[in-house]
Amino acid sequence: MSQSHYLRRNSPKFRSFPAGKCIFKQGDSGTTMYLVLSGKVELRVDGRVVETVGEGGVVGEMSMIDRAPRAATAVAVDDCTLTPIGQKQFSDLVQRSPDFSMQIMKTIADRLRRMNDRYHHMKAVAADDIGQAALSKSEDSKH
């Protein structure tokens, strides 16, 4: 059973956000996570888009686990409808449903892997740029 199934079944509340509306900001305290029912939400770190989450995805789950400030800003890409899940409801779902817990852990692991892949790609591109610059400088000094 998917995390969206558990959240839809256990939360009758919905919130609508128009395109461009900030859902939460990086550094804010996190007391709610959201299931994306429709639309898309961008996650931004220091103003840079790091992921776009669509229907069935969740945002804000990390703060539910560690209660640390938000690691990213969430912004509605287009008009979207979200289901808010508060800390108590999240804790209840984790305790009652191992499948839900596994889905949340999978979401976090998938995001971490994608961020890790992006980091290694950027590192390789930067190393290649440095190598190309050094080669150009070497070529220039020969002439």
pLDDT at 116: 82
Cβ atoms of residues 70 and 63 within 8 Å: yes
Count CA atoms closer than 13 A to 119's CA, side-chain side: 6
User: Per residue in 36-75, pLDDT tens?
Assistant: 999 999 999 999 999 999 999 999 999 999 989 999 999 9
Instruction: Specify the residue for token string 């800003």.
Output: 73
pLDDT of 1 higher than 50: no
pLDDT at 76: 98
Instruction: Specify the residue for token string 């979401």.
Output: 107
pLDDT at 9: 56
Q: What single-letter amino acid sits at 131?
A: G
CA distances from 74 to 31, 50, 82, 96, 104 (A): 14, 10, 12, 28, 18
pLDDT at 138: 61
